[in-house]
């Protein structure tokens, strides 16, 4: 078999039973791997009645047919039902772990049950071994990774949880290779609920390639294409993802103080340029990645990786903070404790506004950088004020009677692009199957960066078609599995060529787009059965009712209703957002 290793292992941590899951060639072709095959397997195993913390809930780690092959192919996907949102959820991470899992001889792991005590899994040469993790329980993610490598091998790649996951914080991340995170949706909390501390992968089994000569030629051509692209070959290499700080701020849509303003007066002080000038030690990269968007940084007291753009915003402008070292050290702490930085920062912003309005009697003030580390740490351990912050913004705001102050969609906090400045991004947020997410359809590309073409960011015309298109392409990339940044340099035809060259199967562009649509519709079906409908495809009222009074996006509001019916029509869904029977038949669902 070319591309796939041909083995998915299912393990029940309660009785330690292991079995190889049979996946047909047809199913692989219809869902590829990664996100797509993970969602299909999860939907077959679990229902909308399955609670994320039920013992029989499945947590699925998946690679794809391109994992461990061509450039940017070190990623993996984790699929389950989010404890934060209740939606079906996949979370993606880079680094080395995806390629290591493939090299260990498997395409994926399905984990069910709950261990009697702390355990970790060792995957090597196609075998899965359950080991005692008592010595690592309570340790942060970096100490855990070092400890497991000392016990197994320094070459093992480790994905693990920190105290946040152990304490079932609803936005706990899964960390791998020190500073890479499968962060969104709280899937690290599910690991904690299963007493699963970590997964270690090692091995050197090669991925079979259908056409080695064409493979080498394609790899060389891809490297030239990526190097010549201004985003992948320059901006991300030189300044990392925080290159966006000044760009988004200049468009008046860099959210400040819980999305109340769109221009941060000290954006320059937290920008990619300032990171490069004051904190940067060196560039870092994931497996087979020529882009190298990672930043190894150092403050006066610590060294680590990051912060990325979203984290710079979440602990910076969103909280009225311009203290870059404090932001960076809060990022380090989230990596070590295992917390999603977007939800952590967004929940703090919600808490600050709750405090300011008098709805919550705790005192949290805008710009109070000196307490960032304390708040982050207390959240991971559910102590003091952290026990409240651990609820996430939606539950916290509802508890204190001001649900409108939580900047979230379907329970997942919205990231660092104010939707009043980009109507397509607003539709992308609202219709995202996993909640407030910029990665389902990155409309910042055409609306702000001019990729692949410039679109009027304030117009709603044509946005429904493009959002659906972007969502489908992104589902394909997440299932292949590759880094999304590659989408800045190549399009669907190149992804088709990559899959054909590696697998030897005669994929077409049209087939890949159908695969993407099938995956997105299957996710929607699960969410419909879980009770989500049109009423959940919306945004916080702030974006409909409040206008910025200053900045390049002033006097704008989100006009979602102008796009939503068109979007449903493009998708083949009814007016309530449910896929029509003929759509399901067309997609074989």
Q: Given the structure tokens 């539709």, which residue do they identify?
A: 427
Q: Which two tokens stand for residue 572?
A: 């083949």
Measured CA to CA in angstroms, residue 572 lies from 50, 280, 360, 487, 583 at distances of 27, 48, 44, 26, 6
pLDDT at 472 over 90: yes
Q: Where are the beta strands (DSSP E) in 204-299?
A: 280-284, 294-298
pLDDT at 370 over 90: yes
Domains and CATH numbers, the chain: 8-202 (3.60.9.10), 230-413 (1.10.569.10), 419-488+508-587 (1.10.599.10)
How is residue 409 annotated by DSSP?
Answer: E
pLDDT category at 360 given cuts 50, 70, 90 is very high
Q: Is 188 helix (H, G, I), strand (E, B) or coil?
A: helix
Residue 163: phi, psi to the nearest 5? -55, -30
Which is nearest to 240 in space by CA: 287, 288, 289? 289
- Calpha distance 44→60 (Å, rounded): 12
Q: Given the structure tokens 């990672």, which residue do they identify?
A: 294
Q: What is the pLDDT of residues 28-85, one digit of tens each?
A: 999 999 999 999 999 999 999 999 999 999 999 999 999 999 999 999 999 999 999 9
Return all residues near 499 (Cβ < 8 A) that are at least 6 apart.
Answer: 3, 32, 65, 66, 480, 505, 507, 512
Kindly report the number of other CB atoms within 10 A of residue 216's CB atom: 12
Average pLDDT for 516-525: 98
Which is nearest to 267 in space by CA: 447, 438, 368, 416? 416
Q: What is the pLDDT of residues 553-568, one digit of tens each?
A: 999 999 999 999 999 9
Q: What share of the chain is helix, strand, coil (3-state, %, to 5)?
A: 45, 15, 40
- Calpha distance 431→413 (Å, rounded): 14
Q: What is the pLDDT of residues 244-287, one digit of tens each?
A: 999 999 999 999 999 999 999 999 999 999 999 999 999 999 99
Q: What is the pLDDT of residue 183?
A: 96
Whole-number average pLDDT of the chain:
97
Q: What is the pLDDT of residues 162-173, one digit of tens each?
A: 999 999 999 999
Q: Which two tokens stand for residue 227?
A: 């190097």
Strands 127-132 vs 88-93: parallel, antiparallel or unpaired: unpaired
pTM over 0.85: yes
Which residues are 180's β-sheet partners? 176
Are 100 and 533 in contact, with CB atoms under 8 Å apart?
no
- Classify 390 in phi/psi space as left (phi over 0), alpha (psi -120 to 50) or beta: alpha
Measured CA to CA in angstroms, residue 114 lies from 11, 130, 207, 209, 285 at distances of 10, 12, 32, 37, 35
Q: What is the pLDDT of residues 126-164, one digit of tens each?
A: 999 999 999 999 999 999 999 999 999 999 999 999 999
Cα pseudo-dihedral 535, 42, 124, 477, rounded to 10:
-50
pLDDT at 1 over 90: no
pLDDT at 434 over 90: yes
Which is nearest to 12 in space by CA: 61, 55, 63, 76? 55
């Amino acid at each position: 078999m070319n591309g796939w290793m041909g083995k998915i292992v299912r393990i029940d941590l309660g009785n330690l039973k292991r079995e190889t899951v049979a996946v047909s060639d047809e199913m692989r072709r219809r869902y590829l791997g990664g996100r797509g095959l993970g969602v299909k397997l999860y939907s077959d195993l679990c229902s909308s009645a399955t609670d994320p913390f039920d013992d029989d809930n499945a947590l699925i780690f998946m690679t794809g047919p391109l994992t461990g092959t061509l450039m940017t192919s070190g990623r993996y996907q984790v699929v389950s039902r989010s404890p934060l949102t209740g939606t079906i959820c996949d979370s993606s991470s880079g680094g080395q772990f995806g390629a290591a899992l493939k090299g260990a001889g498997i395409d994926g792991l399905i984990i069910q049950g709950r261990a009697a005590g702390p355990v970790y899994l060792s995957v090597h040469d196609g075998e899965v071994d359950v080991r005692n993790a008592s010595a690592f329980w309570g340790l942060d993610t970096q100490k855990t990774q070092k400890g497991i490598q000392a016990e197994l091998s320094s070459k093992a790649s480790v994905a693990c949880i920190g105290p946040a996951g152990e304490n079932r914080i609803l936005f706990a991340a899964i960390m791998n290779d020190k500073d890479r995170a499968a962060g969104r949706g709280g899937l690290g909390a599910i690991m904690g609920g299963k007493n699963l501390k970590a997964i270690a992968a090692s091995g050197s089994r090669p991925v079979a390639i259908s056409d080695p000569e064409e493979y080498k030629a394609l790899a060389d051509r891809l490297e030239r294409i990526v190097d010549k692209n201004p985003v992948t070959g320059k901006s991300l290499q030189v300044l990392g993802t925080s290159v966006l700080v000044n760009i988004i701020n200049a468009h008046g849509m860099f959210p400040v103080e819980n999305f109340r303003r769109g221009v941060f007066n000290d954006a320059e002080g937290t920008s990619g340029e300032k990171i490069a000038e004051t904190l940067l030690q060196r560039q870092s990269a994931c497996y087979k990645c020529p882009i190298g968007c990672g930043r190894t940084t150092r403050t006066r007291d610590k060294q680590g990786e990051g912060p990325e753009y979203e984290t710079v915003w979440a602990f910076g402008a969103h909280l009225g903070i311009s203290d870059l070292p404090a932001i960076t050290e809060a990022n380090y702490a989230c990596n070590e404790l295992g917390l999603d930085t977007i939800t952590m920062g967004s929940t703090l912003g919600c808490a600050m506004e709750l405090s300011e309005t008098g709805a919550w009697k705790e005192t949290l003030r805008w710009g109070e950088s000196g307490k960032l580390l304390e708040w982050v740490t207390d959240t991971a351990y559910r102590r003091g004020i952290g026990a409240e912050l651990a609820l996430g913004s939606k539950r916290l705001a509802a508890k204190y009677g001001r649900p409108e102050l939580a900047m979230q969609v379907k329970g997942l906090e919205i990231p660092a692009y104010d939707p009043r400045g980009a109507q397509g991004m607003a539709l992308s947020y609202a219709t995202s199957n996993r909640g407030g997410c910029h990665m389902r359809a990155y409309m910042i590309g055409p609306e702000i960066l001019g990729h692949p073409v410039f679109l009027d960011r304030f117009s709603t015309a044509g946005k429904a078609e493009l959002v659906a298109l972007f969502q489908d392409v992104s589902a394909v990339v997440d299932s292949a599995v590759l880094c999304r940044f590659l989408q800045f340099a190549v399009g669907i035809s190149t992804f088709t060529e990559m899959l054909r060259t590696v697998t030897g199967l005669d994929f077409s562009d049209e087939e890949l787009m159908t695969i993407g649509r099938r995956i997105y519709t299957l996710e929607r079906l699960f969410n419909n059965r879980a009770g989500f409908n049109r009423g959940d495809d919306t945004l916080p009222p702030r974006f409909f009712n409040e206008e910025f009074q200053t900045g390049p996006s002033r006097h704008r509001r989100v006009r979602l209703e102008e796009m939503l019916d068109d979007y449903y029509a493009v998708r083949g869904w009814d007016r309530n957002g449910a896929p029509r029977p003929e759509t399901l038949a067309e997609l074989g669902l």
